Amino acid sequence: MTSIRMTKKKKILITGFEPFDGSSFNPSAQLLDWLNLQTFDFEIHTLLLPVSFTQAFPLLDELTTNINPSAVLLTGYAQTRTELTIERIGINWVDARIPDNDGLLLEAQKILNHGPDGLFTTLPVLQLIEMAKKSGCSAKVSTSAGEYVCNHLLYLYLTKYSLIPGTFIHLPGSQNYDIFFQGIHAIISQI
């Protein structure tokens, strides 16, 4: 008898966020536009998310369920950082310094009352950093995705989708994002 090994076709989902806090710019939104112009030998799906505590995860959840990706990269913007930062953990906490784009301000509270305090991301963070560095991009591990919508999204993703490898990547403040986009391209190509 011959056995046939079925393998899942590589399909990567990448998200970014719209601008927030009065800005007209968010490099994670530009990243999605840039990725959609690139050529890959596998499927990529991009999703621009609102900076909204109530809307971001439901939109991600719906698309993740519909396409069943093999990996998920959530991306956002951390203006004060200087390197691509790959998040190691999502924490069960939100303490926003500003309201989201819907005007909702969540302060000093758990995301899920009975959820674990933290959940580790499910992609090999150190390997992702090496992939980015090989492309010429500076990158490092981060152990804080913040206490705003980025962390909120990451934590909810990790809570529901432990079997679909995923992490969050923050783009730094920069005058030129080409090298950071190349770093994320290198990561996407290798995961």
pLDDT in tens, 74-117: 999 999 999 999 999 999 999 999 999 999 999 999 999 999 99
Task: Give 40's contacts (C-beta < 8 A, 6+ positions apart).
Answer: 188, 189
Domain with residue 144: its CATH number is 3.40.630.20
Residue 134 lies in a domain: yes
**pLDDT over threshold 80, residue 122:** yes
Domain count, the chain: 1
Q: Is 77 part of any domain?
A: yes
Torsion of CA 126, 131, 134, 136, to 10 degrees: -90
Give pLDDT, residue 34.
98
AA identity, residue 142:
S
Cα–Cα distance for residue pair 60/48, rounded to 1 Å = 9
Asked whether residue 1 is assigned to any structural domain, the reply reads no
- Is the pLDDT reported for residue 2 higher than 70? no
CB burial class (10 A; 0-12, 13-18, 19+) of residue 10?
middle
pLDDT at 7: 60
Close Cβ partners of 108 (under 8 Å, ≥ 6 residues apart): 95
50: nearest Cα among 118, 136, 152, 121? 152
Which residues are known to be catalytic? Answer: 87, 150, 170
pLDDT of residue 3: 47
> What letter would DSSP give residue 94?
B
- Coil, helix or strand at residue 155: helix
pLDDT exceeds cutoff 80 at 6: no
Residue 2 lies in a domain: no
- CA–CA gap between residue 60 and residue 64 (Å, rounded): 6
Q: How far apart are CA 36 and CA 66, in angstroms?
A: 19
Q: Write the pLDDT tens digit of every residue in 54-68.
A: 999 999 999 999 999
Position 62 in a domain:
yes
Q: Quick check: is 33 in a domain? A: yes
The mean of the pLDDT values for the chain is 95
DSSP state of 149: H
Q: Amino acid letter at 102?
A: D
pTM: 0.94
Residue 26: which domain range?
Answer: 11-190
Confidence check: pLDDT of 5 > 90: no
Residue 8 has pLDDT above 80, yes or no: no
Q: In this structure, what are the phi and psi dihedrals at residue 183, rounded to the nearest 5 degrees?
A: -60, -45
Q: Which tokens sit at 31?
A: 């990243």
